[in-house]
Amino acid sequence: MTSPNNSVILGTGASVTGADGSVYAIDGDGQITIDGIVDDTTANVDALGYGGGMVWQKNADNSWYSKISASDTWANYYEVNGVPPVSTGRASDSGATYTPGNGFPLRDADGNTWAISGGQVVLDGSVDPTTANVVKLAYVNGVIWQENTDANWYSKVLPSDTWTQAVQTDPIAAAAVQALTWTGATSDPTDPAAWALPDGSSQVPAPFETLVMNGGSMDLGGGNLAGDVLSGANETINLTDGGSVQLFTDAATVNVTGGTAAINVTSPPESPFDPGIVTVTADTISSVILHADITFGRLTETGGGVVVNGTSHVSGAYVLLNSDLSGSGTLDVDYNRARLGVVEVNGAVGSGVTLSTESPNSSLVLDNAGADQGTVALHYGWLEIKNEAATDSVSYQNSLVSLYQGDTVLAAIAVVGLAGQTGFGPNDGTLHFAKNAAGSVFVYQTYGGGGSGLTPLPQHA
């Protein structure tokens, strides 16, 4: 059976199955075996993946290579802005396009891949029978577009949506010059006076449009602006119960009151020296359904609760979540262009939530480990557990890191992603435990953390 789309497995013994049924694995010498036979063209391989109909390999130099069938030659993939072809489902850049034989399949914010085969759209390797004569795909501000041989464009946001024919002839150009701009004349997004076209006329946004809002305040609730993407900066969004907003922004304030609201935050790649800030504040009776793809920015959430569904990605950014996390999803963290990625959770982590590190320069920080029931996938990087100054020994058994004071367990956290690790050892991939003077306990691998100022912690007997 073909491996799941956008799946990545790390380390010796990792295995994926290609579309042709061939099984790829990493042996103890860092080479790939295909159906049990060593591929002598490979070396220092530390990850295998499958996505967009292709098998992918990554080596210790973080270089990616792909092939479709076992008989093909490995083709080098040159990363754009540090984005790997497969890993955690990070979306393609806004404005990215794909045509058969030119470029890589597009990826949306949920990690789905979109390609073209035989004139039809292929979603996660399966042909969409409702499409025909497709010649081009585009990804613009969270929306997937297809163009056919008649130069007609159709769009959707989710795979389950129906394709909607667009009025404009080119969604990339339309996003640049035809976007409705927020006037600030009113805070009601359903009031035509709140929006203006480049020619100065006013109208209410239609679904699946890209809107521009630079500054000002908007009151958003119910199904208003459903499917629309709000780009710009320095805006304030007041969400009420049932409200939903898709932000393509590097600076925004979001206030949530009176119930549950959904926030999809995508920050455009900006200079790492000028990161944007998104601040989310909810009242005590509200919950925020969070989906994020944040690059180089900072997101701070306070109040209420956070629901993590699907996969959210933090790349070279700092995310601080001060509320309890619930739901059934993954929040992963990576570095980007030498900028560290950090996710810090001040609240409790629910049992359905996974926090994952995806590179050596990424870290997870837990401020309330005693209340955490989620899972840490420590593929790389390190885990910092704050407020544990009393810890004097640590154990790692059955994928559970336990902190001890004497024989008393202070906290226990599920840590996966390191098959076969038992604790200490000199080899890369082995877990290490240490404590700093501030009372934080660190869990890390030889190549992913540690450093000066840390005191090793012994294993609990």
pLDDT of residue 76: 77
**pLDDT score for 276:** 65
- Answer for the pair 46, 58: CB distance below 8 angstroms, yes or no: yes
Q: Which residue has the higher pLDDT, 19 or 111?
A: 19
Instruction: Name the residue with tokens 């950014």.
Output: 317
229-243, 295-309, 310-324, 417-431: lowest mean pLDDT where? 417-431
**CA gap 265, 271 in Å, rounded:** 18
What does the pLDDT read at residue 428?
A: 45
> Residue 95 above 50 pLDDT?
yes
Beta carbons of 295 and 267 less than 8 angstroms apart: yes
pLDDT value for 386: 93
Sketch the domain layout of the chain as residue ranges: 7-77, 96-169, 179-244, 245-456
The pLDDT value recorded for residue 81 is: 35
**How much is the average pLDDT of 174-184?**
74
**What is the predicted pLDDT for the residue at 348?**
93
Q: Identify the weakest region by mean pLDDT among 64-78, 95-109, 126-140, 431-445.
A: 95-109
Q: Evaluate whether 433 touches 454 at the Cβ level (below 8 Å).
A: no
| pLDDT on residue 208 | 65
pLDDT at position 429 = 53
104 has pLDDT over 70: no
Q: What pLDDT score does 423 carry? A: 40
Highest mean pLDDT pick, 26-40, 77-91, 431-445 = 26-40
pLDDT at 449: 46
Q: Which residue has the higher pLDDT, 266 or 314?
A: 314
- Between 170 and 80, where is the model more confident? 170
CA-nearest of 404, 305, 306, 416 to 357 is 416
Burial class (CB in 10 A: 0-12, 13-18, 19+), 186: middle
Q: Average the pLDDT over each of 31-45, 198-212, 341-355 and give the range with the smallest value.
A: 198-212
Contact 260, 242 (CB under 8 A): yes
> How far apart, in Å, do the first and last CA atoms of the chain sit?
43
Q: Poorest-confidence range of 40-44, 222-226, 266-270, 454-458?
A: 266-270
Residue 285's pLDDT band (boundaries 50, 70, 90)?
Answer: confident
Give the mean model confidence (pLDDT) for residues 61-70.
82
- Residue percentage of the chain with pLDDT more than 90: 27
- Could you tell me which residues are beta bridge partners of residue 362? 341
Cα–Cα distance list, 404 to 347, 393, 421 (Å): 21, 5, 19
For residues 104-112, average pLDDT:
72
| Euclidean distance between CA atoms 392 and 386, whole angstroms | 14
Percent of the chain residues past pLDDT 70, beyond the cut:
82
pLDDT, average across residues 280-309: 83
> Of the candidates 426, 439, 330, 308, which has an alpha carbon nearest to the alpha carbon of residue 384?
439
Tokens of 388: 């544990």
Write out pLDDT tens, residues 368-390: 887 888 888 887 778 999 999 99
Half-sphere exposure of 218 (CA within 13 A, CB side): 31
345 band by pLDDT with thresholds 50, 70 and 90: very high
Average pLDDT rounded to a whole number, residues 264-277: 59
Question: According to the model, what pLDDT value does residue 88 have?
Answer: 40
| Section 323-348 average pLDDT | 85
* Gap between the Cα atoms of 157 and 208, Å rounded: 8
pLDDT at 193: 94
Which of the four CATH numbers 1.10.357, 2.40.10, 1.10.620, 1.50.10 does domain 7-77 have? 2.40.10
118-154 confidence digits (pLDDT tens):
899 988 778 899 999 999 998 887 789 999 999 899 9
Tell me how far CA of residue 414 lies from CA of 221, 389, 395, 447, 455, in angstroms: 38, 20, 12, 21, 23
Amino acid 427: pLDDT: 36
Confidence at residue 89, expressed as pLDDT on a 0 to 100 scale: 44
pLDDT of residue 394: 94
pTM > 0.75: no
Q: DSSP assignment of 89-132, as one string?
A: -PPPPTTEEEBTTBS--EE-TTS-EEEEETTEEEETTEE-TT--
Q: What is the mean pLDDT of residues 142-171?
A: 84
The whole-number average pLDDT for the span 356-377 is 85
- Helix (H) and strand (E) counts for the chain? 1, 46
**Tens digits of per-residue pLDDT, 21-36?**
999 999 988 899 999 9
Q: What is the pLDDT of residues 182-241, one digit of tens each?
A: 999 999 999 999 999 877 888 888 776 778 898 999 999 887 887 788 888 889 999 988
Measure the CA angle with vertex 92, ends 242 and 263; round to 5°: 15
| CA proximity to 112, closest of 125, 100, 129 | 125
Q: What is the DSSP string of 407-443?
A: TEEEEEEEEES-TT--S--SSTT-EEEEE-TTS-EEE
Question: What's the rounded Cα separation, in Å, for the pair 321 and 345?
Answer: 5
Residue range 399-433, pLDDT digits in tens: 889 999 999 999 999 888 654 444 433 334 567 88
